[in-house]
Amino acid sequence: MAYQALYRKYRPTNFDEVVGQTHIIQTLKNAIVQNRIAHAYLFCGPRGTGKTSIAKIFAKTLNCTNNQDAPCGVCENCKMAANGSHPDIIEIDAASNNGVDEVRNLIDKVKYAPMQGKYKIYIIDEVHMMTSGAFNALLKTIEEPPAHVIFIFATTEPNKVLPTIISRCQRFDFNKVSMHDIKYRLSVVCKNEGIEIDENGLTLIAQLADGGMRDALSILDQCVAYCSSHIDVNDIRKIYGVVTSEDIGKLFYSVYKKDVDSFVKDIQKYSDMGMDIKRLTADFIHMLKDSLILDYSENSTLVSDMNKDMIRKYFKLAPINFRIKCMEELMDTYNKYTYASNALDYLEASLLKISSYSYESKTHIIDSDHNDFKEVEEEENYETSYDDTSDDSDIIEKNTQKDDNNGVLEKSEISDVSRETLKQSENKNNKIILNDEFVIQLLVGATKMERSIDTNKFNNIGQFISSLEFGKYAATLRNSTIMASGSNYIVVCVSSEIFAKQINEFELNYGYEDFMEVLLGKAKKVFALDKTQQSRVLDEFKERMISGNLPEPFQVHLKRKDAESENNMSIEDHMKSLFPNIEIKED
């Protein structure tokens, strides 16, 4: 006997063998049990999702003589339906029988009673290929067919079917088969066929199938022809031109390190090997997305173990802002491939643009010698770093004053955030969090009345999202809630440590005082913490309040220009402050 393709050999013969589409199967089963059989059905959805298979199973079930266990597979009707010789189950390919004459011939045969089964069932595949004339000729028959006739239409493009036809049918929309279901079905097939394949291989085949069970079995068939009985994930990649996770990780690292020669040569090498550039871009985006998921949830089960290893090895070296920009740029490039004359050039240009994002950027860090903020050049870093070597207090301000005698700068009041307050946590993600003791000091200095007033005004933050001046300030705080309010500061709570870090970095780099003055009516600093830290700090605050062991409230001072002193300046002094080189002469 000639070899039979896997998708034909393992085509489901009953509803229980169908992969996915549980909502459709349950509806059809109930219709049979309740004897609520419609005269016309429309099955629509992506290719390889079971439309024709379910139509055949439904037809076989309706004509099965075993009412208790249909389709039984042993009665004469089931056997004839299985080998395609049942006279009352007629399959028509609308792609080659789409004219008016073919439809008229069908209509002439509809009036005759079934020869073998209870129903005469017409399964018309790719029904969208029928001409308008053929649809119109069939319209009346579909609307009022004989009691023994059932039509089942299958199509991948329901938008091309006349609305008058659709309105006369029960429509069932098939979904793409989930990766989990495809992998399970493939594992069953491999076990029956004696094929050895690991979890990563099954995952890759399921990804390549893109929700089509038939495609998945066809891919497996081709892999067996190439690899015999043992299939390795790298062999699958070679067959279908898919780059490995390791290759994508190395490519990303080269882009981040601005090693232009390396990543351009790698891309050209993949292209010469026949790798699909569009698939490479999609896989690149997928790896970046997974890396962001791991930033939010280190132990997430949404990311495969293989991808986790590659992400920790290559992607975690780059800050989250860089990876987000990289993903956005690649998604934009992916959309342009449809009209690109040379996809390779588009990808190379995109990665060159991405590489420029990792050049030196200015950021604020804390000077370990003077305990003050300063601007420095920090290469290849999008995140604020902090020197954690000194033993200074949590909050430090340097209001410097010049001594008339020796010009020495002296320390004065405590005010701004130091390296202990916003410290690096000891995990490898370098997330920046507030010191618990400092938060408790802020809570001691906060009042319920201030929080009530601020909360009412804080709820209007959405109005500033589209503001050119304050949009970026509002965007960072829009998903936060006020935990505590003092006279010149607020403590906000956010869902994750990453968001808290971003807000605290923003406070360090830009400051929220001007925005808070507009939003709340007062210039205030903003401190952020996540829900886990909030719960921990509140528990400790309550215990220390009961025991009478609360610390002194922390005094936060704002570093803003003294408007009063500016108003008291003479015209000449004010002009000199604006234009240092100006020379004022008396007239």
| pLDDT value of position 358 | 61
Residue 554 gets which letter from DSSP?
A: P
| pLDDT value of position 303 | 80
Q: Output phi, psi for 165, to 5 deg.
A: -75, -45
pTM of the predicted model as reported, rounded to 2 decimal places: 0.55
Span 531-556, pLDDT tens digits: 888 988 998 998 888 888 889 888 88
Q: Reduced to 3 states, what is the DSSP secondary structure of residue 415?
A: coil
- Residue 191 has which token pair? 């076990």
**565 pLDDT tier (thresholds 50, 70, 90):** very low
* Dihedral sign computed on CA atoms, order 14, 15, 19, 24: positive
Torsion angle of the four alpha carbons 14, 20, 22, 25, in this order, in degrees rounded to the nearest 10: -30
Residue 512 has pLDDT above 80, yes or no: yes
Q: So what CATH class is 245-356?
A: mainly alpha
Span 154-176, pLDDT tens digits: 999 999 888 888 999 999 999 98
Is residue 71 reached through a cis peptide bond, with omega within 30 degrees of 0 on the bond before it?
yes
Q: What is the share, in percent, of the chain residues with pLDDT greater than 70?
A: 82
**Single-letter residue type at 31:** A
**585 pLDDT tier (thresholds 50, 70, 90):** low
- Residue bearing tokens 């049979």: 32
- Cβ atoms of residues 366 and 419 within 8 Å: yes
- Residue 101 has which token pair? 């004459």
Q: Reduced to 3 states, what is the DSSP secondary structure of residue 493?
A: strand
Span 359-380, pLDDT tens digits: 533 333 333 333 333 333 333 3
Hey, where are the domains in the chain?
A: 21-173, 179-240, 245-356, 432-564
- Cβ atoms of residues 388 and 423 within 8 Å: yes
**313 pLDDT tier (thresholds 50, 70, 90):** confident
Round to the nearest angstrom and report the end-to-end CA distance of the chain: 114
Q: What is the share, in percent, of the chain residues with pLDDT greater than 90?
A: 19
Element (H, E) at 247: helix 245-256
| pLDDT value of position 240 | 81
DSSP for 94-139 reads TTTS-SHHHHHHHHHHHTSPPSSSS-EEEEEESGGGS-HHHHHHHH
Supply the angle between the helices 199-209 and 179-193 in degrees, to the nearest 10.
120
| pLDDT value of position 408 | 36
Residue 403 has pLDDT above 90, yes or no: no
Residue 586 has pLDDT above 70, yes or no: no
Q: Select, from the ranges 2-6, 89-93, 562-566, the one with the highest average predicted confidence (pLDDT).
A: 89-93
**529 pLDDT tier (thresholds 50, 70, 90):** very high
Which residues are 372's β-sheet partners? Answer: 367
More confident residue, 206 or 357: 206
| pLDDT value of position 446 | 92
- Superfamily per CATH, domain 21-173: P-loop containing nucleotide triphosphate hydrolases (3.40.50.300)
Span 266-298, pLDDT tens digits: 888 888 887 888 888 988 998 899 888 888 887
Span 197-242, pLDDT tens digits: 888 888 888 888 888 899 999 999 999 888 877 888 888 888 887 7
Buried-exposed string 26-47: b where 16+ CB fall within 10 A, e elsewhere: eebeebbeeeebebbbbbbbee
More confident residue, 125 or 557: 125
| pLDDT value of position 467 | 83
| pLDDT value of position 55 | 93
Span 446-478, pLDDT tens digits: 998 889 899 989 988 988 888 888 888 998 998
Q: Say how far apart CA 164 and CA 540 lie, in whole Å.
A: 69
| Total residue length of the chain | 587
**Single-letter residue type at 230:** H
Q: Which CATH number fits domain 179-240: 1.10.8.60, 3.40.50.1100, 3.30.465.10, 1.10.1740.10?
A: 1.10.8.60
**What average pLDDT does the structure give for the chain?**
79
Span 408-436, pLDDT tens digits: 333 333 334 444 444 433 333 444 567 88
| pLDDT value of position 143 | 84
Task: Give the strand pairing for 230-231 and 149-155.
Answer: unpaired
**Single-letter residue type at 455:** T
Span 54-65, pLDDT tens digits: 999 999 999 888
Residue 402 gets which letter from DSSP?
A: B
The stretch 293-322 carries a mean pLDDT of: 82
- Cβ atoms of residues 414 and 557 within 8 Å: yes
Q: Say how far apart CA 84 and CA 64 lie, in whole Å.
A: 14
Element (H, E) at 197: strand 196-197
